[in-house]
């Protein structure tokens, strides 16, 4: 089958009898179009619904979408009975449309365009012109011109229109180098009329006019462009076209012939054939959305201005951190320090290739404007670049360095330059090259407010985007394209981790593409380790946690360390100054996505299980530790609580019932001590479900009693009573075999019911509930503490201070035996009040840190 989207949609059947099977229904075309522009990628259900109905989908949106998908599948089966069923697949959280590269005109266009760009960079002008011509011939009109566009198709249409213009500009440039200036005049006049502010097309028209003996018309073209820019935008034309204007004004003979043939006489300094005049300014325009890096920008510009020839500053950071934008901004700010030129060399091609050695040196020379046939060997290329830059003050920006091996020959050839390099992570061997590293961390909330809006939701959006400038720019673009959305609206859409990447991808394909490229370019072993780390909740984690998760790929501690450091070097993981590691926010989501997509379910299941066992062990150790990592256990839990809750929810989602219950048991004392109500309810509700699925009545009793305590603290008293009574029924269900395990829960559930009676002022009912507790005094220390506590409270309410003192002194003894200072302090507070005669006070501390008005005060 063949699909065409570069113009009106067209679907052609497979086989010798070709039929056109384009869907007639507009909504079905929208679904197919959305899947085709994201071919071979999962498109979420939410994205499809948003594309179909925008901000106001009908209540039947999900059902209607499924109808459209069924219609598409029927069409595909009719068009290709053998393979149609394999094209449109269900993949969480949506659908995947799978095609070979030659089946979709968009894929063919992008491939031809990328190859043409590479041919042009390599000096193959004839090949570049032909490839771009073939690419442009695929366009039959605007993208999907017969299909309604939502936000995703709109943004894709804008992006591809820019790419098409780029392909056209590169084809024209290549043909000018081939001497076809006369043939290009008519086309260039039409293009400059259509795009009156496009400097490259105006420059090409100026050159074509000058070469055909029309110097005055060439100067007039510049004047027209300048007038348009000044009148409409209040800016001057760029430096390159101004330099071209000056050369035409002075009648530079070097412009009369293609540069490869004329460069021999272009330099008064009698440089080698093909070498450009200096200064050379080849930097991207400053990013108007560049923000939040003032400190780093100042530091980097200062380092560049003070650097000696041969010095190298390396800006490192994860994908999307804004390394290139910072490098360009710093180069602009330090421009006065480099009067002979500032040149950017991109070390990753459009197809993802990484030039190294002689290829990388050739790319650097081409970036300087060197033309013609270059030497083939690394030594000859190095000598040529050294000759070009000798005695000059030049800044060479090397963008997206992959490794020390790629950088080493470039530094040797650029010994007369100051080098500014960017790279993901910090590849091994960089320190040996003498580079000065400047790592980039995530942006803070202030940057989000500056870029989006000055409100709390912008700060949350910054956090949800992992502080990555590229993601924040995607968010800003999404807000701009949906005027009725607020930052709070978008924060709501991004809050769910499982759909966040999909939302960002809908906002800007480049954002997701940069993250995927960072992953795709890593070594296979690194990708395997990265996927497994997708099982780790967001936040810092230790090497021990990583070792558990990476079990299949790192059998020994040394292997774990090697895997982690390799991921750091690849820019896929952050090593924290205080120790431990962290996946950048969006890379963590990508790791979880890749784990679900690329590994069997058993692998993800095993990684989550191993993670839970390690975390449960840490929780159990924390209950008996004086300090953890220099922190009090409660402080430690405050830092780790969200991560532990995330792990518990993942375990429950994966059906790991024993691990879910074990984590909930480990978290229980911390949740109660910190009154962490939201985490408490979320975790123990999930764990209760897990206990019931296991058929573990003892665990069910524990968790019901715990949820009863939570409801009591939240003053949901009827709910608390229900939970306590259900806990008692679970104890009975567990039977005598589990008596040793359930007896403490029986006592604590009864104590909870006593608290409820005391809340209601039913002192006789409270005393009656004490009888079954006294009939079978619990063997565990905490159970006896609860019994003594409620006995003491009842004695206070019934005005028997002596008995109250006896019971709270017993509480103190039992708390000391437990080693629980919180319970111990509670007992001491009561004893101090009773010693001071305050047993008639109107407020009682009924549980540690929980106070209520006394039922009787007279």
CATH of the domain at 206: 1.25.40.10
Same domain for 79 and 217? no
pLDDT of residue 805: 93
Structure tokens at 414: 């650029």
Rounded to whole angstroms, the Cα distance separating 458 from 599 reads 35
The reply to whether 595 falls in a domain is: no
* Tens digits of residue pLDDT in 120-148: 888 888 899 999 999 999 999 999 998 99
Q: How open is the CA angle 288-451-396, to the nearest 5 degrees?
A: 40
The answer to whether the predicted template modeling score (pTM) of the entire model surpasses 0.75 is no
Distance CA 23, CA 476 (A): 34
Q: Which residues of the chain are modeled with pLDDT < 50?
A: 259-273, 856-858
Report d(CA 429, CA 432) in Å as an integer: 5
Same domain, 157 and 215: no
Residue 299: per-residue pLDDT: 93
CA pair distance 643, 636, nearest whole angstrom: 12
Give the model's pLDDT for residue 523.
87
Burial class (CB in 10 A: 0-12, 13-18, 19+), 352: exposed
Do 359 and 218 belong to one domain? Answer: no
Inter-residue contact 822 to 673 (CB < 8 Å):
yes
Q: Is 575 inside a domain boundary?
A: no
Inside any domain, residue 658? no
Q: How many CB atoms lie within 10 A of CB 824?
A: 20
Q: Is 765 inside any structural domain?
A: no
> Does 89 share its domain with 212?
no
Cα(673)–Cα(268) distance, integer angstroms: 81
> Order of strands across the sheet with 341-346?
280-282, 341-346, 395-399, 418-424, 312-317, 436-439
Domain shared by 363 and 407, yes or no: yes
Look-up: residue for tokens 């380092």? 303
CATH number of the domain enclosing 18: 1.10.10.10
Contacts of 324 (CB under 8 A, 6+ apart): 284, 399, 400, 422
DSSP secondary structure of 741-758: HHHHHHHHHHHHHHHHHH
* Nearest residue to 378 via CA among 393, 390, 365, 391: 365
pLDDT of residue 629: 63
pLDDT value of position 29: 93
**Predicted pLDDT of residue 234:** 81
Q: Which domain holds residue 807?
A: 780-858
C-alpha span between 94 and 503 (Å, rounded): 13
Cα–Cα separations (whole angstroms), residue 676 to 361, 638, 682, 739: 59, 9, 10, 30
Q: Do 24 and 98 belong to one domain?
A: yes
For residue 698, being part of any structural domain is answered with: no
Residues 435 and 457 in one domain: no
Residue 468 lies in a domain: yes
**Helices 105-121 & 125-137, crossing angle to 10 degrees?**
160
Region of residue 400 (left: phi > 0; alpha: psi -120 to 50; beta: else): left
Q: Give the N- to C-terminal CA distance of the chain in Å, as an integer.
A: 89
Q: Provide the token pair at 235.
A: 């800016």
**Listed residues 150, 172, 194: the one ending a domain:** 172
Tell me how many domains the chain contains.
Answer: 5
CA atoms of 622 and 643, how far apart (whole Å): 15
Last residue of a domain, one of 467, 485, 520: 520
Extract the tokens encoding 748.
């604590």
Contact 160, 104 (CB under 8 A): no
Domain-ending residue, one of 488, 520, 552: 520
Cα torsion 47, 51, 57, 63: sign: negative
**Tokens of residue 767, six digits:** 């005393």
* Whether 619 contacts 663, CB under 8 Å: yes
Question: Do 191 and 98 belong to one domain?
Answer: no
Task: Give whole-number Cα distances, 491 to 79, 290, 375, 455, 460, in Å.
Answer: 42, 22, 54, 12, 7
Rounded to 5°, angle at Cα 516 from 510 and 518: 105
Q: Is residue 211 part of a domain?
A: yes
248: its two tokens = 């035409």
In this structure, the answer to whether residues 431 and 458 fall within a common structural domain is no
Q: DSSP readout, 104-153?
A: BHHHHHHHHHHHHHHHHHTT-HHHHHHHHHHHHHT--SSTTTTS---HHH
Are residues 51 and 162 located together in one domain of the fold?
Answer: yes
Using the structure block, give the residue that is written with the tokens 């205080």. Answer: 578
What distance in Å separates the CA atoms of residue 654 and residue 605, rounded to the nearest whole number?
Answer: 6
Rounded Cα distance between 522 and 566, Å, is 9
Q: Which two tokens stand for residue 297?
A: 């920008």
The answer on 432 and 325 residing in a single domain is: yes
Answer whether residue 638 is part of any domain: no
Give yes or no: residues 294 and 422 share one domain: yes
Please name which of 294, 235, 284 lies closest in space to residue 450, comparing C-alpha atoms: 294
d(CA 191, CA 184): 10
């Amino acid at each position: 089958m063949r699909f065409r989207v570069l113009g009106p949609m067209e679907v052609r059947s497979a086989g010798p009898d070709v039929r056109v099977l384009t869907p007639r229904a507009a909504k079905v075309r929208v679904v197919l179009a959305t899947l085709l522009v994201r071919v071979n990628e999962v498109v979420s259900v939410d994205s499809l619904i948003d594309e179909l109905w925008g901000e106001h989908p009908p209540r039947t949106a999900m059902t209607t979408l499924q109808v459209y998908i069924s219609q598409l599948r029927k069409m595909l089966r009719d068009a290709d009975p053998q393979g149609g069923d394999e094209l449109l697949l269900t993949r969480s959280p949506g659908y995947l449309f799978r095609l070979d590269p030659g089946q979709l005109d968009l894929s063919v266009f992008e491939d031809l365009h990328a190859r043409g760009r590479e041919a042009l960079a390599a000096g193959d002008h004839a090949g570049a012109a032909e490839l771009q011509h073939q690419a442009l011939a695929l366009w039959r009109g605007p993208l999907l011109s017969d299909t309604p566009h939502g936000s995703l198709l709109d943004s894709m249409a804008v992006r591809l229109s820019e790419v098409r213009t780029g392909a056209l500009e590169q084809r024209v440039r290549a043909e000018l180098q081939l001497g076809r200036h006369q043939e290009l005049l008519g086309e260039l006049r039409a293009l400059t009329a259509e795009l009156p502010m496009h400097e490259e097309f105006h420059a090409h028209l100026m050159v074509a006019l000058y070469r055909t003996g029309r110097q005055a018309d060439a100067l007039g073209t510049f004047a027209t462009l300048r007038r348009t820019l000044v009148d409409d935008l209040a800016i001057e034309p760029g430096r390159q076209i101004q330099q071209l204007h000056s050369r035409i004004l002075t009648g530079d003979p070097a412009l009369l012939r293609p540069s490869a043939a004329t460069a021999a006489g272009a330099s008064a300094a009698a440089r080698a054939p093909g070498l450009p005049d200096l200064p050379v300014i080849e930097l991207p325009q400053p990013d108007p959305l560049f923000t939040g890096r003032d400190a780093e920008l100042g530091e980097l510009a200062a380092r560049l201005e003070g650097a000696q020839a041969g010095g190298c500053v390396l800006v490192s950071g994860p994908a999307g951190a804004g390394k290139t934008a910072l490098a360009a901004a710093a180069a602009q700010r330090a421009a006065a320090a480099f009067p002979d030129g500032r040149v950017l060399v991109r070390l990753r091609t459009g197809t993802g290739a990484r030039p190294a050695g002689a290829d990388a040196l050739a790319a650097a020379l081409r970036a300087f404007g060197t033309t013609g046939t270059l030497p083939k060997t690394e030594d000859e290329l190095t000598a040529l670049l050294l000759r070009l830059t000798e005695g000059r003050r030049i800044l060479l920006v090397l963008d997206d360095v992959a490794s020390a091996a790629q950088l080493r020959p470039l530094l040797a050839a650029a010994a007369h330059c100051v080098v500014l390099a960017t790279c993901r992570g910090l590849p091994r061997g960089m320190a040996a090259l003498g580079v000065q590293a400047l790592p980039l961390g995530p942006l803070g909330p202030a940057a989000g407010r500056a870029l989006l809006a000055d409100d709390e939701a912008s700060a949350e959006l910054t956090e949800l985007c992992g502080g990555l400038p590229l993601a924040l720019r995607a968010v800003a673009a999404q807000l701009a394209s949906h005027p009725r959305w607020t930052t709070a609206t978008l924060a709501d859409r991004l809050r769910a981790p499982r759909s966040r990447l999909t939302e960002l991808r809908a906002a800007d394909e480049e954002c997701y593409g940069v993250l995927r490229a960072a992953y795709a370019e890593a070594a296979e072993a690194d990708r395997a380790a990265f996927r497994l780390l997708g099982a780790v909740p967001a936040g810092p984690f230790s090497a021990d946690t990583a070792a558990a998760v990476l079990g299949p790929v790192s059998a020994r501690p040394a292997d774990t360390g090697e895997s982690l450091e390799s991921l750091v070097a690849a820019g896929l993981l952050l090593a924290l100054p205080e120790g431990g590691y962290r996946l950048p926010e969006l890379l963590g989501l990508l790791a979880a996505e890749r784990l679900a997509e690329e590994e069997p379910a058993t692998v993800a299941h095993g990684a989550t299980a191993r993670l839970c066992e390690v975390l449960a062990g840490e929780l159990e150790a924390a209950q008996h530790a004086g300090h953890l990592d220099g922190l009090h256990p409660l402080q430690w839990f405050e830092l780790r609580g969200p991560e532990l809750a995330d792990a518990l929810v993942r375990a429950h989602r994966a059906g790991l019932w024993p691990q879910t219950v074990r984590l909930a048991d480990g978290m229980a004392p911390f949740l109660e001590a910190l009154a962490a109500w939201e985490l408490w309810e979320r975790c123990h509700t999930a764990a209760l479900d897990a206990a019931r699925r296991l058929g573990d009545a003892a665990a069910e009793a524990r968790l019901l009693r715990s949820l009863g305590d939570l409801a009591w603290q939240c003053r949901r008293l009827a709910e608390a009573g229900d939970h306590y009574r259900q806990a008692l029924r679970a104890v009975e269900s567990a039977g005598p075999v589990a008596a040793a395990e359930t007896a403490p829960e029986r006592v604590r559930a009864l104590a909870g019911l006593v608290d409820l009676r005391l809340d209601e002022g039913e002192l006789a009912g409270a005393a009656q509930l004490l009888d079954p507790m006294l009939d079978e005094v619990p063997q565990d220390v905490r159970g006896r503490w609860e019994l003594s506590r409620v006995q003491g409270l009842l004695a206070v309410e019934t005005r028997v201070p002596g008995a109250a003192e006896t019971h709270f002194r017993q509480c103190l003894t039992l708390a000391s035996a437990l080693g629980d200072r919180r319970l111990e302090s509670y007992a001491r507070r009561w004893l101090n009040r009773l010693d001071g005669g305050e047993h008639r006070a109107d407020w009682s501390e009924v549980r540690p840190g929980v106070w209520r008005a006394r039922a009787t005060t007279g």
